[in-house]
Amino acid sequence: MVTGKPIFIAYARGGEYPPGSDSEGFDFQTKYLEMILVFIGFADIRRLIIEPTLMGGPEVAKEKREAALAKAGEMAKLF
């Protein structure tokens, strides 16, 4: 069992599955991966979600990627 350790996960998705939306139920990536991590003992799961990477074209993807990189940098300072 892993205890007392944080874990960082970066999710990249072509579509969007924001909480509270009709598409939230299709977010199997987060649910299953984090269920496994909790099972093996991780309690401090830190996530970064980059979405959408396909919807909206390359400009939207670039914008989302840049925002995610900035957020990852901020998260790294606290890890």
Query: How is the chain split into domains, by residue range?
Result: 6-77
pLDDT tens for 32-42 read 999 999 999 99
- Residue whose pair of structure tokens reads 């830190």 in the numeric block: 46
Please give the structure tokens belonging to residue 71: 């957020």
**Do residues 42 and 7 make contact, with C-beta atoms less than 8 angstroms apart?**
yes
Side-chain half-sphere exposure of 12, counting CA atoms within 13 A: 11
pLDDT tens for 22-32 read 999 999 999 99
SS3 10: strand
- What's the CATH architecture for 6-77? 3-Layer(aba) Sandwich (3.40)
User: What is the rounded distance in angstroms from the CA atom of residue 58 to the CA atom of residue 54?
Assistant: 7
User: What pLDDT was estimated at residue 42?
Assistant: 95
SS3 46: strand
User: What pLDDT was estimated at residue 55?
Assistant: 80
